[in-house]
Structure 1
């Protein structure tokens, strides 16, 4: 599992690099060169500006970020549902997976082949695809990073206010960073809801991300423009509601299937 986490982090880093993170200080325009700028970043920037202009008010750009964030999250909803189902399935088979690992703990080639064989049989028996949980994340990353670029590189956002903050400046009261970290933690916690202590101990990377991810995003939000922190807050609130609406019925269905004997 640790190797899978490292591979996932590496893929995310590769996406960040290929998406042109070095251009973050360059304003996006219709004349910006490159496939990334023309077909990913600029269209999102254009939508943000047009939605803001519809409201004809100083707060229009902040409201536009909220609306466009919700639209993007709704578009990505099917992928997120797939990710939640895959995560739930992996959690359910962790005890059996641990037994197989203990059975074939030897590092010789023959034993490792048997380990892989029985692991794949377990996955097939329960209809689990170990890559299904990673694929939605990989697919979403270019879209979410493009929106991040659109917010950071749209000059029209400069000087506009929304609620108590200025969009192109960090939140002076640190309210957005706290909200960002808090809702990120809550979303991660909800993802782990319904799992036992034993299951969590078998997936240490999830426990690690539970604390590291909120801390990192909260620190970034302190120094980044409030427009980006607003995007994170709205997106995380949506993810919390999505997890509550999707995962809770999944847990109830699982309890009903097992006759309510889960302890």
Structure 2
């Protein structure tokens, strides 16, 4: 079982990368949206393109039109096409986007229909509810993060409990690992495996069940990424000078103060959310006069931390805000569950809920 668990843990980062770079590639732009974008570009640039064509020596109408079409295609490819709207909407740039339905989303793909569109619709509803300003968009991100995290917690409730239990028995695990750290014979290794299995059975822990949470959260993360980068209204406006639709990296390099602060908070929040459970487990072990586990970050943890920070740095700022808020939620969740498990009265209620 331990080998299977280690294998799955090693595979998870790879699965994350596959989801990240292959999922949610649709921009949700309909034929009408594309036509409206091209119409908008022609209204802006056609006169100058025609003059450029004449200056370049184009004399016939056919040559001039060919030049205009070529420039239009170039400009269209570089245009920021973000077309998720839940009602007909005219952007600040003057482009009109056609209403998208849930049925339209399913035509784009399974992920788009199952997760991206519902998340997008929820976010747009919150934005409209709060007033469509930069502050409204920030609070919409807060509300969407809260709703999603609570839903995920409800789905992975048992898995989360298993993770908490595993943290609680770290002193016992450490004793077994130290006792059999120099095991070389097959008999000793088998005895070690039996000891581990007995400990897991004693506390009713299934290590594999704890892997449910990553498999739930990864597709949701990718769906939020797809929503954030394609919601039309989220590409407009800013919060404390931070543009939601632009990459966080671009704004940090431009010297945006809030962008820099956000990235620092994202780093601290991610490290704290990854290490807090271990720190609390050691605190509990000290109170019970049990061995304390060294808080060293293993290879997988370091890789995931680098992956998270690198990804967050180069994604839209709205995604970095979501990630930071998610880390804060994880920290609060860990503290609450630790309190429930440590408090004698709360601990009994806690066990009663799960059994």
- TM-score w.r.t. length of structure 1: 0.78
Larger of the two Rg values belongs to structure:
2
**Counterpart Cα distance in 2 of 1:23 and 1:121:** 41
Tell me what 1:22 maps to.
Answer: 22
Tell me what 2:203 maps to.
Answer: 126
Give the superposition deviation at 1:69: 1.0
**Counterpart Cα distance in 2 of 1:40 and 1:186:** 28
Look up the SS of the partner of 2:108 in the other structure: coil
- TM-score w.r.t. length of structure 2: 0.60
Tell me what 1:188 maps to.
Answer: 274
**Counterpart Cα distance in 2 of 1:215 and 1:141:** 16
**Which residue, 152, 168, 173 being the options, matches 1:97?**
173
Moved over 6 A (4+): none
Could you tell me whether the CA contact under 8 Å between 1:165 and 1:226 is conserved in 2?
A: yes
Give the superposition deviation at 1:204: 5.0
Compare 162-171 and 211-220 and name the one that shifted more: 211-220
Give the superposition deviation at 1:167: 0.5
Tell me what 2:67 maps to.
Answer: none
**Counterpart Cα distance in 2 of 1:92 and 1:68:** 31
Equivalent runs, 1:1-263 vs 2, <5 Å = 4-14=5-15, 16-17=17-18, 19=19, 21-22=21-22, 26-28=26-28, 29=84, 30=104, 32-59=107-134, 60-79=136-155, 81-101=157-177, 102-103=179-180, 105-169=182-246, 170=248, 171=251, 172-173=256-257, 174-196=260-282, 198-201=291-294, 209=301, 213-214=304-305, 216-253=307-344
Provide Cα deviations, 1:177-221, integer angstroms capped at 9, x if missing partner.
1111111222223222233395534x8556973x66555434443
Could you tell me whether the CA contact under 8 Å between 1:5 and 1:205 is conserved in 2?
A: no
Could you tell me whether the CA contact under 8 Å between 1:177 and 1:222 is conserved in 2?
A: yes
Give the superposition deviation at 1:229: 1.0
Give the superposition deviation at 1:81: 4.9
- More relative contact order, 1 or 2 (CA 8 Å, 6+ apart): 1
Could you tell me whether the CA contact under 8 Å between 2:20 and 2:222 is conserved in 1?
A: no
Distance 1:253 1:215, change over 3 A: farther
Look up the SS of the partner of 1:132 in the other structure: helix
RMSD: 3.3
Could you tell me whether the CA contact under 8 Å between 1:12 and 1:141 is conserved in 2?
A: no
Distance 1:104 1:247, change over 3 A: closer
Number of residue pairs aligned between Structure 1 and Structure 2: 253
